[in-house]
Amino acid sequence: MVRRIDVTGADGVDLAAWELADPQTGGRDPRGDPDADPGAAESAPGALLLHGLMGHAPHWAATARWLGATHRVVALDQRGHGRSAKPPEGPFTHEAYTADAEAAVERLGLAPVTLIGHSMGALTAWRLAARRPDLVRALVICDMRASALGAASQQEWEQWFDSWPLPFASRADAHRWFGAEDPWLEHPSPARGDFFAEVMTEGPDGWRPVFSRRQMLLSRESWIKDAHWEELAKILCPALVVRGLDGELGRAEAQEMVRVLPLGQYAEVADAGHLVHYERPESWRAVVEPFLAALPADPYPAVKPLPGEARTFGP
């Protein structure tokens, strides 16, 4: 079952949240099962899934299929993305994204929540975990760097956006360009083609992205110039850092993130690039599911480590 829930985010922005599965029912709607507990979805632990830049909530569909057996799963279309509002002047700052996620957790009653974020969504998740530890049970960070990326990175993205041959004549043409013809590609990636084809929509002149490239640049601008290590040190819940072997987060930086996190763990997925959860859904599940299964029953243990103290959580 997929159910849309409208949420008011920071600054009154209209956000689309999607409840992607019903816990305790194998993904079935308990309202259609006479033997199912109608309160199961509300009583199960909450999980909020946050996509990365240019993504949308349905990119989490494969994750929701297994996570929904144990959690109330909600994926958020972040501002400027998917079906959520795209205010012409924003703001598209990391503060706004974090406040939106906070509003979703509180207004949907997901706390204590497990936050799972990819790329920019991972940064949003860990900033919320640092800012509101009372709301967060656990954190999964997927292929997001803590180091500053710098102004040169923004210039490269501007040039990349300018290279897009818009409009595409068809969704298939978009898939082919992003999966095989994009000069940024080192080798063909059908999964990458699928990823971008999902966020294209047909207009009078052809197929274009559902998001504004200008707004995506504004979003990046708010966090690429800063490092985010201090926030990691303030996260008191168990946290898993996952990287793709060929992704954007290097092993040394990922392991340093784990060291800085008070309750950090590390995992990597072979044969995966930046889109770890989307490219290799079964391998992604194999590293995330055991982490979640090992979480303590009490989301708020009486004794917590001091901020900055490095420990390893789990067996």
∠ at Cα 278 (294, 169), nearest 5°? Answer: 165
Q: In what order do the strands lie in the sheet with 239-244?
A: 3-8, 14-21, 72-77, 46-50, 113-118, 136-142, 239-244, 264-269
List C-alpha distances in Å: 99 to 75, 104, 122, 175, 238: 15, 9, 14, 33, 21
pTM of the predicted structure, to 2 decimals:
0.90
Domains of the chain: 3-147+227-293 (3.40.50.1820), 151-219 (no CATH)
Q: Are 197 and 175 in contact (CB under 8 A)?
A: yes
Q: Are 75 and 57 in contact (CB under 8 A)?
A: yes
Rounded to whole angstroms, the Cα distance separating 72 from 113 reads: 10
Residue-wise pLDDT tens for the chain (315 aa)?
Answer: 799 999 999 999 999 999 987 544 444 433 233 344 444 456 799 999 999 999 999 999 999 999 999 999 999 999 999 999 999 989 999 999 999 999 999 999 999 999 999 999 999 999 999 999 999 999 999 999 999 999 899 999 999 999 999 999 999 999 999 999 999 999 999 999 999 999 999 999 999 999 999 999 999 998 898 999 999 999 999 999 999 999 999 999 999 999 999 999 999 999 999 999 999 999 999 999 999 999 987 765 433 433 333 332 232
- Work out the burial of residue 49: count CB atoms within 10 Å of its CB; fewer than 13 is exposed, 13-18 middle, 19 or more buried: buried
* pLDDT at residue 41 in the model: 53
Amino acid at 202: E
- Please name the residues in contact with 174: beta carbons below 8 A apart, sequence gap of 6 or more: 168, 193, 196, 197, 200, 207
